[in-house]
Structure 1
Amino acid sequence: MEKTNNYFMYVLLCGDNSLYGGFTTDLKHRLKQHQTGKGAKYTKSHLPVKMIFSKQFDTKHDALSAEYHFKHQSRKKKIEYLIEQGINVKQYGLKV
C-alpha cells in the first residue's frame, strides 16, 4: 500500500492564455520554479504563469492520474473541468 502524503495536481494559466497541468508535492516551490523559467520546458516558453487551481490527493498515483487526464483533454474540456471544480474562469479571461 502506498504511503499517504500530500500530492497535488495543479493548473497554470500561461502568458499566452494556454493552460498547463502539473504534479507536485510542494505547490509554492513548484510555482516559483515555473515563474523563474526553471519549471517545465512548456511553461519556460509561455511566461508569465499563474496558478489558478490545485487539488490535493492522498496518493501519488491519484494525483498523477488526474494530471494525465487533464493534459489529454481539449481546451474546452479543461475549462469545463475547472468550472466543475468551482473556478470562476471568467475572471481569468477564459471562455468555454
Structure 2
Amino acid sequence: MNAWYVYLLECRDGSLYTGITTDVARRYAEHEAGKGARYTRARPPVRLLAQFPYPDRATASRAEYAIKQLRPEQKRALCAGAP
C-alpha cells in the first residue's frame, strides 16, 4: 500500500497551493505542465515548499483540509518546520 502525501507549492504569484497525492514528483510535474489543478494552471508553481507523509488517503485528506484552513503565514511557518 502506497503512502499518501500532503504537499504545498508556492505559485508564481506568491500564493500557496495545497494538495494530496501518492507521488509528489509526478504531481508537481503535472502542475508544471499545466495538467494539474485549475488553480495551478492559472498560477504555475515555482517550487515545492513541503510534503508530509500519511498512511492512507483518508488521513491525508483530513490533513489537507486542516492545512487549507490556515492563513498563508501559518502555512509558511508549517513548511519552515518541515524536514
Partner of 1:91: none
Q: What TM-score do the two structures reach when normalised by structure 2?
A: 0.88
2:24 to 10, 27, 42: 27
Per the alignment, residue 77 of structure 1 pairs with: 74
Root-mean-square deviation (Å):
1.4
Distance in 1 (alpha carbons) for counterparts of 2:19 and 2:31: 10
SS at match of 2:26: helix
SS at match of 1:67: helix
The count of residues paired between Structure 1 and Structure 2 equals 83
Q: Percent identity?
A: 34
The structure that is strand-richer by fraction is 2
Task: Give the greater-gyration-radius structure (CA).
Answer: 1
Partner of 1:60: 57
SS in 2 for 1:64: helix
> Do the aligned partners of 1:14 and 1:49 also contact (CA within 8 Å) in 2?
yes
Deviation of the 1:38 alpha carbon? 0.6
When structure 1 is superposed on structure 2, of 16-25 and 42-51 the one drifting more is: 42-51
Distance in structure 1 (CA, Å) of the matches to 2:5 and 2:49: 13
Which portions of structure 1, spanning 4 or more consecutive aligned residues, are displaced by more than 2 angstroms? 83-86
Q: Which structure is higher in RCO with an 8 Å CA cutoff and minimum separation 6?
A: 2
Q: Given the two structures, how large is their TM-score scaled by the length of structure 1? A: 0.77
Match of 2:16, as an amino acid?
Answer: L
Q: Which of 7, 12, 15 matches 2:9?
A: 12
